[in-house]
Amino acid sequence: MEKVINEIMNKKIGDVIVNASLAKYTTYKVGGIARAVVYPKDTLKLVELMEIIREHDVKHFILGNGSNVLFSDNVYEGIIIKLDNFDNIEFFDRKIKVGAGYSLIKLANEAMKRGLAGLEFASGIPGTIGGAIFMNAGAYNSDMSKIVESVTVLTPDLKVINLRNKEMLFGYRESFLQHNRGFICLGAILKLKHGDRDILEEVMKDRKLKRKRTQPLEYPSAGSVFRNPEGMYAGAIIEELNLKGYQVGGAKISEKHANFIINVGNAKASDIKQIIDLVKEKVKEKYNIALRVEQRLVNWNIENEEKKEE
Q: Does residue 43 contact residue 88 with C-beta atoms inside 8 Å?
A: no
3-class DSSP state of 256: coil
Q: How far apart are CA 262 and CA 264, in angstroms?
A: 6
Q: Does residue 253 contact residue 230 with C-beta atoms inside 8 Å?
A: no
Residue-averaged pLDDT of the chain: 94
pLDDT at 22 over 90: yes
pLDDT at 294 over 50: yes
Q: What is the pLDDT of residue 271?
A: 98
Q: What is the pLDDT of residue 263?
A: 98
Second CATH level (architecture) for the domain 89-195:
2-Layer Sandwich (3.30)
- The model's pTM is 0.91
Average pLDDT value for residue range 271-299 = 96
Q: How far apart are CA 151 and CA 287, in angstroms?
A: 39
Question: Is 306 an annotated catalytic residue?
Answer: no
Q: What is the pLDDT of residue 283?
A: 97
Question: Is 294 an annotated catalytic residue?
Answer: yes
| Active-site position among 150, 224, 254, 296 | 224
pLDDT at 162 over 50: yes
Question: Is 174 an annotated catalytic residue?
Answer: no
Domain with CATH 3.90.78.10 in the chain: 217-308
**In 3-state terms, the chain is what percent helix, strand and coil (to 5)?**
35, 30, 40
Tell me the one-letter amino acid at 262. I
Q: How far apart are CA 151 and CA 145, in angstroms?
A: 11
Q: How far apart are CA 14 and CA 39, in angstroms?
A: 5
Residue-wise pLDDT for 51-104, tens only, equals 999 999 999 999 999 999 999 999 999 999 999 999 999 999 999 999 999 999
Q: What is the pLDDT of residue 56?
A: 95
| 230 vs 84, higher pLDDT | 84
pLDDT at 259 over 50: yes
Q: Does residue 162 contact residue 198 with C-beta atoms inside 8 Å?
A: no
CATH class of 217-308: alpha beta
Q: What is the pLDDT of residue 290?
A: 95
Q: What is the pLDDT of residue 302?
A: 56
| Active-site position among 145, 150, 294, 296 | 294
| Active-site position among 35, 173, 175, 254 | 173
CATH for 2-82?
A: 3.30.43.10
Count other Cβ atoms within 10 Å, centred on residue 174: 17
Question: Which residues are paired to 90 by β-bridges?
Answer: 97
Q: Does residue 76 contact residue 98 with C-beta atoms inside 8 Å?
A: no
Average pLDDT value for residue range 138-156 = 95
Residue-wise pLDDT for 165-181, tens only, equals 999 999 988 999 999 98
Q: In which band, very low, low, confident or very high, does the pLDDT at 310 lie, cut at 50, 70 and 90?
A: very low
Domain with CATH 3.30.465.10 in the chain: 89-195
pLDDT at 309 over 50: no
